[in-house]
Structure 1
Amino acid sequence: MDTDEQLSERDRSAAPPEGWRTRSRSVRSGPGSRPRFPGRGPWRRAGVLVALSVAGVSLLSACVVQPFLIPSGSMEPTLRTGDRVLVNKLAYGFGNEPGRGDVVVFDGTGSFVHDGRSGGVLTGLLREAAAAVGLAEPDGTDYVKRVVGIGGDRVTCCDERGRIKVNGVALDEDYLLPGDSPSQVPFDIVVPLGRLWVMGDHRSDSRDSRDHLGEPGGGTVPVGRVIGRADWIGWPARHWTSLTVPEGFARVPDAPADGRGGGHG
């Protein structure tokens, strides 16, 4: 039988040599090891999630729905300064084109703007990134207006009651800002095929197709420059609503097939 003295000697001989834990620790933290820093894992995961979220929002904004910050009162009372609308970028895919009464966002380069974009490349990229999520005003070449005439339509102003006529039919524009007349500027234009005649709902405070009558294209906007259709007001919450086509446009007949527009009626 082992005595107490033999047991204590065996315990001492089984014990690790002095300094063993220190050497073991130094080996584990040598050049080939990966030091662990508290919190590094969670921060890295959070960074990845943020990057993926930003990429997802950017992709959604580029291809499907883009928030658009309303920069002025030219579309009042339908859209107010500071409203954020959601622009449906798929609305005019698969052969669909803008229709009369649609509220559209478009790039006015070549129609409303002839000087191109201003500012440096970096400034432009930062603005585009902020505008893509509705945090900044859109580029100076982007506009939001209502389509009044499409390719082939004859749009005239005004009849004896001061109303705009499209293909001979007078529009009852109850969406205009109260007190505004349909237009103080007379015009008579046949919209070229593949282009749009657009106007703001606040007619006395809107720079629209009327302001570019004497320029190439006669103030009309190419369909190919349309970014999308404004379908919803997403912010502020008290303005939440969908944007629908006013009923008056349903009475407008299609333009004649010869593309010369309708008569005065």
Structure 2
Amino acid sequence: MNRKKETITLSITSGTKEKLEEIAQKLGIFWGKSPSVSGLLVAIAQQEFEVGEPFTLNSTQVAALQQAIGLLKDSGFIEQAQTISSLLLERGQLEPPIRHSLLQQVSQSTEAWRILTDQFRQNQQPFHLLYGNPQMGDLSFTVRYAEVTFEEKRFYLNIWCDETEDIANTDFPELKHNRCLRLDRIKGVVPINGQWRHEGLDYLKVYLHFYKGLIKSYEPKPSDISNEIIGEVRQVVRRVSNPFWLIREVLRYGDDCVIVTPHNVRSLLQEKLLTLCQLYDIETRS
């Protein structure tokens, strides 16, 4: 049985029919070999296509999706990151520098260095890594161990490497083989022969004391060696491969947390606090 059809009459201005036919042709709606205005109207009624103002992304939405792209890339989801990049290029209100950057990302191969790095880590395969340092230019590292960690707002690649020449002065000679690298600054990785370092990263054993509400609310971390309440203090002993992140964490706790030992880590926080006092015109005892 043929479906019953209805006929409508449209009063349209000159040239409108041709514009409708152009839209129908663009959308692939034809009657025989000719664009079909009737078919276009049916498709719109069935909500197969958008009408009205085109869907676009404002600056806030663009910024949020850019952050999501970075997290997806860092996590190894390269194809998903490229899909969102394509959406931004199609629908986002983008400044020229952002558009250029996204075009470069979309054109990159899905077999990116992030996937290769994961393969090397899983196979315990040493590799060379080329890294773009904003202050020192390109650096090359011979990586014997690597792990990915999430610090604050992004993922980082932590490595143990042979090279130590780029460390001019350090308060932590025990950690001179460790590096914490931003994933978006890595330019390439190449496998090499050699031994994988099964001991992992070098680390310091740091003693922390937590007070007040943190005695009960402290959330243990995978790097904690021990965690116990002693009187009115929670004492945590932690493996620390990069004191930079520990200092930032302790500063957030304020006077609810103290670094007890070792002295070089405790001194680093003391220097940071003295600098803050100077910036805020707070007098300190000499």
Structure having the higher strand fraction is: 2
Q: TM-score range by the shorter chain?
A: under 0.3
State the TM-score, normalizing by the size of structure 1.
Answer: 0.24
Structure having the higher helix fraction is: 2
